[in-house]
Amino acid sequence: MAADPIHQFQISKLFTITTIGGHEIAFTNSALFMVIILVIGPAVAGFAGRQATLAYVLAGVLFALTLLTRFPLGVIKVVRLPTHGAIECVLALMLIALPWLADFARGIHSRNFYVLIGALMLFLWFLTDFRGVRDRSTAPPAL
């Protein structure tokens, strides 16, 4: 069992992109997963245009959020992990609602893509302990 939210998932560096100001910028397996889904997802699901552009923008937002989060793989480390979790939750809910908010719900492929990716992100959000409370002892203190 993982000891804290940082170590509950195995994140592996695939390769180093560059080093900036003594900070290594690396491409990880988790970043690869989201980039693949959001970047090639529209082509695989069979939609283009505004819906695909939104997927590319969201891929960039998630990647930037990862680079800015205070955890071992973060580069600039200005966003606290609980804040990262709150932003991911909002993004997941937004992905689910986006087909209706952006008026492309009639496009079955794009609508289903956004709803499923949002549901996957929400599922992963529920599994992630962003506050590190899961491994804290719940036993009352001894008297």
DSSP per-residue string spanning the chain: --SSGGGSS---EEEEEEEETTEEEEEEHHHHHHHHHHHHHHHHHT--THHHHHHHHHHHHHHHHHHHBSSTT-SS--B-HHHHHHHHHHHHHHHHHHHHHTT-TT-HHHHHHHHHHHHHHHHHHHH--TTS-TTS--SPPP-
Please list the pLDDT of the chain residue by residue as tens digits (143 residues): 455 555 555 556 666 666 767 766 565 566 567 777 888 999 999 999 999 999 999 998 988 888 888 876 677 889 888 898 899 899 999 999 999 999 999 999 999 999 999 998 888 888 777 776 655 555 555 56
pLDDT at 16: 67
pLDDT at 108: 93
pLDDT at 104: 92
pLDDT at 77: 84
The domain segmentation of the chain, as residue ranges, is: 38-127
Beta bridge partners of 69: 79
